[in-house]
């Protein structure tokens, strides 16, 4: 397994116990296995006592393939799924504080309207925008705002959920668009409960 092999990114969601030290265990495991946590979002889930995490993990293919299975070894991790190749929707959120003058303010507001960003604060010399969307959309707005002078960018990690199924009896997150209608759902899109990675 060459260490020079190209890094790949995976979107992983996990349901974990909401108690001190759990994130340290997860972060420690990622470090030990040579995974970089490119983004991380954590919050309480719909179940009391449990939190849901979405990470973007980067590492060599042989290691990222295994990341969900490795995470599930942790006693405090209830379940972990690599949803990269499943049908999911994801969002990031960014707060962008931009320098403005009386001359540039209108242009900044116009840009934010086109990007459907919310203006959440206006000061004498700055405007703060709130933008949600995919990474590319946020990157584009930041690039466009750059010439006005960006004071501060604060971005969250990615949050993701599987898309709901359109058909009775099928699981969320299946790629129904790719479905071979005659022969049922292609094997590779099935979620194997409890066993993730390249089994």
Partner 1 sequence: MGKTLTGGDIVCEALLNEGVDIVFGLPGGAILPLYGVLGRYPDLRHVLVRHEQGAAHAADGYARASGKVGVAFATSGPGATNLITGLATAMMDSVPIVAITGQVGRAAIGTDAFQETDITGATLPVTKHNYLITRVEDVGPTIHEAFHIARTGRPGPVLIDIPKDVMQEVGTYDYKRDSQINLPGYRIPTAAPDEQIDAAVELINQAERPVFLAGHGVIISRAYDELKELAEKAQIPVVTTLLGISGFPENHPLHVGFPGMHGEAYASLALDDSDLIIAAGSRFDDRIVGNVNEFATRSKKIHIDIDPAEIGKAVPVDAAVVGNLKHVLAQMVPKANRGSRPEWIRHVEQLKSDHPSLHIPETGNLSGQHVVRGLSNVTKGNAIICTGVGQHQMWAAQHYRFTEPNSWLCSGGLGTMGYEVPSAIGAQLALPESLVWSICGDGGFQMTMMELATAVENRLPVKYAILNNNHLGMITQWQELFYMGDTQADAYTANPDFVKLADAFGMKGMRIDDIDDVESAIEEANAHPGPVIVDFVIEKVEHVYPMIPAGGSIKDLMEDTRV
Judged by the rule CB under 8 A, the positions of this chain that interact with partner 1 are 1, 16-17, 21, 24-25, 28, 32, 62, 65-66, 69-70, 72-79, 194-199
- Identify the CA nearest to 175 among candidates 80, 82, 166: 166
Task: Tell me if 128 sits within 8 A of 121, measured CB to CB.
Answer: yes
- Identify the CA nearest to 135 among candidates 38, 51, 58, 63: 38
To partner 1, the closest distance from the beta carbon of 190 in angstroms equals: 12
Q: Which CB sits closer to partner 1, 49 or 169?
A: 49
Q: Which CB sits closer to partner 1, 65 or 170?
A: 65
Task: Tell me if 193 sits within 8 A of 65, measured CB to CB.
Answer: no
To partner 1, the closest distance from the beta carbon of 48 in angstroms equals: 12
Q: Which CB sits closer to partner 1, 83 or 127?
A: 83
Task: Tell me if 79 sits within 8 A of 72, measured CB to CB.
Answer: yes
Whole-angstrom distance, CA of residue 100 vs CA of residue 13: 39
Q: Which CB sits closer to partner 1, 74 or 93?
A: 74
To partner 1, the closest distance from the beta carbon of 175 in angstroms equals: 22
């Amino acid at each position: 397994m060459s260490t020079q092999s190209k890094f790949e990114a995976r979107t992983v969601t996990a349901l974990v116990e909401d108690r001190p030290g759990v994130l340290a265990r997860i972060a420690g495991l990622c470090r030990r296995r040579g995974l970089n946590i490119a983004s991380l979002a954590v919050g309480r889930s719909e179940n009391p006592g449990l939190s849901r995490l979405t990470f973007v993990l980067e590492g060599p293919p042989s290691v990222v393939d295994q990341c969900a299975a490795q995470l599930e070894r942790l006693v405090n991790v209830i379940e972990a799924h690599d949803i990269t190749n499943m049908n999911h929707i994801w969002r990031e959120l960014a707060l962008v504080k931009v320098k403005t003058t009386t001359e540039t303010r209108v242009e900044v507001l116009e840009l934010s309207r086109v990007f459907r960003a919310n203006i959440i604060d206006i000061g004498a010399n700055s405007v703060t925008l709130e933008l949600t969307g995919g990474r590319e959309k946020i990157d584009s707005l930041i690039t466009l705002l750059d010439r006005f002078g960006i004071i501060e960018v604060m971005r969250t990690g990615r949050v993701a959920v599987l898309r709901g199924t359109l058909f009775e009896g099928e699981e969320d997150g299946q790629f129904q668009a790719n479905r071979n209608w005659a022969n049922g759902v292609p094997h590779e899109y099935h979620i194997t409960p409890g066993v993730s990675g390249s089994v």
